[in-house]
Amino acid sequence: MEKNTGRKFFVGGHWRCHGTQSDRVPERWKRADEKVTELVNSLNDGKVTGVVEVVVFPSDVFLPLVKKLLRSDFQIGAQNCGLNNCSAVNFSCDFVDVGCWVMKIDAPGEVSIEMLTKLEVPWVILGHSERRFLLNETNEVVANKVAHALSHGLKVIVCVGDTPTQQKAGSSIKTITKQISAFADKVVDWTNIVLAYEPVWALGTSVDPSPAQAQAMLREMRNWLLENTAPEVAASTRIIYAGVVMNLYHMSLLSICLFSLSLVQLVFCLAFEFCSTLVLLSYNLLTW
């Protein structure tokens, strides 16, 4: 548990679209499902203490396979879900307004909450920065998706973040708290929510947020919860760093006591780093 708190550490492995054949993996891994099986086996062999909650988020097509093979103390989650039932079509929506479109129906390619509950998938990621900015998922869209997922019994990682423009303008805190406030009043039980901070300004660049920068933002997010929800919510809600964790510098971000842990942007063929992160965290937990 985090130092001086009752929060259980959380590690999420976001697989993105990894699992397809790639030049980055050995040639002997001919089939995508064989590569997924190899990764799951590596995770299953990892040594983790019981005080870390581990959730992996494979591509939707691999959810049944990963659920079948993954060790029982690890959980799975979906990388996104639609807002309504697949039959809830409303063609009065302006197709140009992607945010409106997502709110009205589940467009082709979306995965519905009903599908995830049928598969007994307990977690989902919502509000990811790339869906916010590339697919125009507004704060309102994300808030309604969060409410929909919670109403069907799923636990939600809600991503919030600041762009390079927002960071340079000094509006990062205002931007992120606005993203949180959009859905906060829809949450009845905050134990089903994990907040994930994405430093969008640093993603895909050679610039990494320093531990101090990340810690300061997570502190501001917790202060907002304290001022706008309840003391017990602020004390118990897990707030995590959502970024790349692929080397010892990135792992040093995880050692900050305010961190719950990380939504790891997991490169498919680097299961070792993911397991190493878990081992590092387990060590820190035992020595704090």
35-66: per-residue pLDDT in tens? 788 888 888 887 776 677 889 899 999 999 99
- Which helix (DSSP H) or strand (DSSP E) does residue 274 occupy? helix 271-287
- Residue 86 CB-half CA count within 13 A: 9
Give CA separation, 285 vs 2, 257, 278, in Å. Answer: 8, 10, 10
Q: What mean pLDDT comes out for the span 230-248?
A: 79
Of 15, 24, 28, give the one whose Cα is nearest residue 70: 15
Find all residues with CB under 8 Å of 237, minimum gap 6, and list them. Answer: 7, 190, 193, 194, 195, 222, 225
260: left (phi over 0), alpha (psi -120 to 50) or beta: alpha
Cα separation, 217 vs 207, in Å, equals 17
Catalytic residue among 128, 148, 250, 273: 128
- Please report where in the chains the tokens 């679209």 appear, as a residue: 17
Active site residue 148: no
pLDDT value at 144 more than 90 = yes
The tokens for 119 are 């598969």
Looking at this protein, which amino acid is placed at residue 247?
Answer: N
SS3 13: strand
Mean pLDDT, range 231-249, rounded to an integer: 77
**Which one, of 193, 262, 263, lies nearest residue 225 by Cα?**
193
Known catalytic membership, residue 137: no
Which stretches of 79-180 are assigned E, i.e. beta strand?
123-126, 155-161
Burial 204-216 (b: 16+ CB within 10 A, else e): eeeebbebeebbe
Are the CB atoms for 9 and 255 separated by under 8 Å?
no
Is 266 in contact with 274 (CB distance < 8 Å)? yes
One of 2, 198, 250, 273 is an active-site residue; which one? 198
Going by C-beta distance under 8 Å and a sequence separation of 6 or more, which residues neighbour residue 96? none
Give percent above pLDDT 90 in the chain. 41
Please, which pLDDT band fits residue 288 given cuts at 50, 70 and 90?
very low
pLDDT over threshold 70, residue 143: yes
Measured distance CA(180)–CA(228) in Å, rounded: 10
Q: What is the pLDDT of residue 25?
A: 52
Question: What mean pLDDT do residues 141-148 have?
Answer: 95
